[in-house]
Amino acid sequence: MNIKMILKKIDFISTEITLFHKGSLSHSSIASGIISLTSCTIIIFISVYHFLNLIYRENDSPKVANNNQFIEDAGIFPLNSSSFFHFISFFIEKNKYFESFDFESFNLIGLETYFLAYEEDKDLSKYNHWLYGYCNKEIDIKGIENLVTQEFFTKSACIRKYYDSSSHNYYEVGDKNFRWPILGHGTFNPKQKLYSLIAIKCEQEILNNIFGKEHTCKSDGEIEKIVNNRGEFHFNFIDHYVDILKYKEQIKIILIE
């Protein structure tokens, strides 16, 4: 069978005829055969190209869109390096640089209830709570060392102790009885778990629970000077978002300062 006959056999463009003509069902031609062969080749090539792109995600096409939807239960997120890690740095506006967090002036306390509940009686022994001390690179940022590279990190404040209101004891990070605070379930869920972070004027008892008796709270006058120098608390935290165009690394983790 020569090339002419092959092209006539694969011709699917020519219209059918009601009468057979030399064994053919259509008025086939060489030109129509060439067009048919070219069309099939292009169709196969485009199909394979897009199929491979769909399988291997080699580029960002085709473009996609996303939408937000309400989730009744958003799950539980611990406030540590595995999920929602955070630390608090101290910035002096007047000097334009970050200083060591001044624990002799301020205490940082985390509560798993609204801070207004604590404000009513200021009795910490009634509430599970967390105390902040200086951050530790070896303990606090396992797995996210590449994100937290600030020189002032070890001068900043991280969670150091947990107080269990049922046992009336403090437990350090790493202790079997220590637990991390959590954010859980979502704002509109009846089982919502929240976390309130408050800064108060230094209290010696709290300071002793963090550092022992190595430090002494500053006087009201000294603390007032720091406030007048526009000392600022900076809340730094790890955030997660989904990049819908990056198929191999969809979950992006960034540090927001």
- Does one domain contain both 138 and 81? yes
| Domain total in the chain | 2
Please report whether residue 226 resides in a domain.
yes
Kindly report the pTM of this predicted structure. 0.72
Structural domain contains residue 118: yes
If asked whether residues 38 and 135 sit together in one domain, one would say no
Per DSSP, helices labelled H in the chain are 3-9, 30-56, 115-121, 137-140, 204-211, 220-228
Residue 66 within any structural domain of the chain? no
Asked if 123 and 183 sit in the same domain, the reply is yes
Q: Are residues 229 and 142 in the same domain?
A: yes
How far apart, in whole angstroms, are the C-alpha atoms of residue 188 and residue 190?
A: 6
Domain assignment present for residue 67? The answer is no
**In this structure, are 132 and 168 located in the same domain?**
yes
- Same domain membership, residue 145 and residue 102: yes
Asked whether residue 32 falls in the same domain as residue 151, the answer is: no
Amino acid 19: pLDDT? 56
Residues 51 and 87 grouped into a single domain: no
The confidence score (pLDDT) of residue 104 equals 93
Residues 245 and 209 in one domain: yes
pLDDT digits (tens, 9 = 90+) for 35-75: 888 888 899 998 888 788 777 766 655 566 667 777 888 88
228 shares its domain with 101: yes
Structure tokens at 249: 């690394």
Mark whether 122 and 89 lie in a shared domain.
yes
Structural domain range at position 160: 76-256
Nearest to 128 by CA among 168, 156, 91, 97: 168
The pLDDT value recorded for residue 120 is 83
Is residue 43 in some structural domain? Answer: yes
Name residues of the chain where pLDDT drops below 50: none
